[in-house]
């Protein structure tokens, strides 16, 4: 049974990276402005400890949330703040998403030793990334590039670029903005032609399903348009049943009363891909619409993408 928390101060669980702490501090301040007191509780995750190999070889992005979810179920924290692109579609029994905050810019950013676009990088340039999606997309655009593993937090990755271990690296622009690093020379990749990771740029709050007190406290932070978009993207992921070894990308956006979604699955070497783009007029039940649209898009690609849908990680 979870340990009870009789105090009025909510315990907010977070990873210890500077980006995770910045995101959690943003949530803490937003709650404080509404009169809800929180304290940050740092939880070391497996994803932070494993730095010598791709996460796909160790269990996938779920390793960034596993220990936080264990702390939730044990009652050591009241809620956890996650980057939504790290959160598996299936949550453990007893846990749920209590809120999704307004999404930051979801695009990827290319940072280079000599500022340049992807097309302008020299032949055979060393490109650093730990993402199977970014690797496949980069090789699709530039098969000559030498893709090398780059793990670590944002500061570590930028330092390795500055030390010329790489000619260029790829990072989520949202993380750079949240860390006050958006003014570094960079090239933003157009999301129409370079789809981001599902959930990229969004921050979510996970809590125990039966914790009505915490749910009531975080409910005002919900951003409905982002929640609708992520419902679509996560349904797309679920329909494909792909793993952390599968290059999958997608982005849902609300424009007026329409939900626009684009998704794709790539061969790991970037030599082939299948994609789907759909537009749907939202009804009075937008979350149900989004879930159906995402599922149908994923189901439409599943058989075509079957050769690349790797078995589950771990």
* Cβ-based neighbour number of residue 53 at 10 Å: 11
**What is the Rg, in whole angstroms, of the alpha carbon atoms belonging to the chain?**
19
Burial class of residue 180 in the structure, from the number of CB atoms within 10 Å of its CB (0-12 exposed, 13-18 middle, 19+ buried): exposed
> Measured between alpha carbons, how far is 109 from 134 in angstroms, rounded to an integer?
11
Catalytic annotation present for 86: yes
Q: Within 13 Å, how many C-alpha atoms sit on residue 182's CB side?
A: 13
254: which strand partners? 259
Q: Please compute, for residue 313, the number of CA atoms within 13 A of its CA located in the half-sphere on the CB side.
A: 16
How far is it, in rounded angstroms, from Cα 234 to Cα 237? 5
Q: Using CA atoms, how far apart are residues 311 and 293, in angstroms rounded to an integer?
A: 24
In whole angstroms, give the CA distance from residue 257 to residue 295: 20
Of 48, 57, 78, 86, which is the active-site residue? 86
What residues are labeled active site?
86
């Amino acid at each position: 049974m979870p340990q009870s928390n009789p105090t009025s101060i909510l315990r907010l669980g977070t990873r210890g990276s500077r980006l995770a702490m910045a995101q959690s501090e943003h949530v803490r301040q937003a709650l404080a402005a509404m009169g809800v007191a929180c304290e940050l509780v740092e939880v070391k995750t497996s994803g932070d400890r494993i730095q010598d190999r791709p996460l796909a070889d160790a269990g996938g992005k779920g390793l960034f949330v596993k220990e936080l979810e264990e702390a939730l179920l044990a009652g050591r924290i009241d809620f956890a703040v996650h980057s939504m692109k790290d959160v598996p579609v299936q949550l453990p029994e007893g846990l749920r998403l209590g809120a999704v905050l307004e999404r930051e810019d979801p695009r990827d950013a290319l940072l280079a030793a000599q500022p340049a676009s992807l097309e302008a990088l020299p032949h055979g340039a060393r490109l650093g990334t730990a993402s199977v999606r970014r690797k496949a997309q980069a090789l699709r655009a530039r098969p000559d590039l030498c893709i090398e593993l780059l793990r670590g937090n944002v500061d570590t990755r930028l330092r390795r670029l500055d030390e010329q271990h790489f000619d260029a690296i790829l990072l989520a622009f949202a993380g750079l903005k949240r860390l006050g690093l958006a003014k570094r020379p960079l090239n933003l990749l157009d999301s129409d032609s370079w789809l981001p990771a599902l959930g990229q740029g969004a921050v979510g709050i996970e809590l125990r399903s039966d914790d009505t007190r915490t749910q009531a406290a975080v409910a005002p932070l919900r951003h409905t348009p982002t929640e609708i978009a992520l419902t679509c993207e996560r349904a797309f992921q679920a329909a494909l049943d792909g793993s952390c070894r599968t290059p999958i990308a997608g982005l849902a956006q609300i424009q007026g009363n329409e939900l626009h979604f684009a998704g794709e699955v790539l061969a790991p070497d970037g030599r082939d891909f299948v994609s789907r783009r759909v537009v749907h007029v939202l009804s009075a039940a937008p979350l149900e619409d989004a879930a159906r649209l995402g599922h149908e898009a994923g189901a439409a690609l599943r058989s075509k993408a079957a050769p690349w849908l790797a078995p589950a990680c771990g």
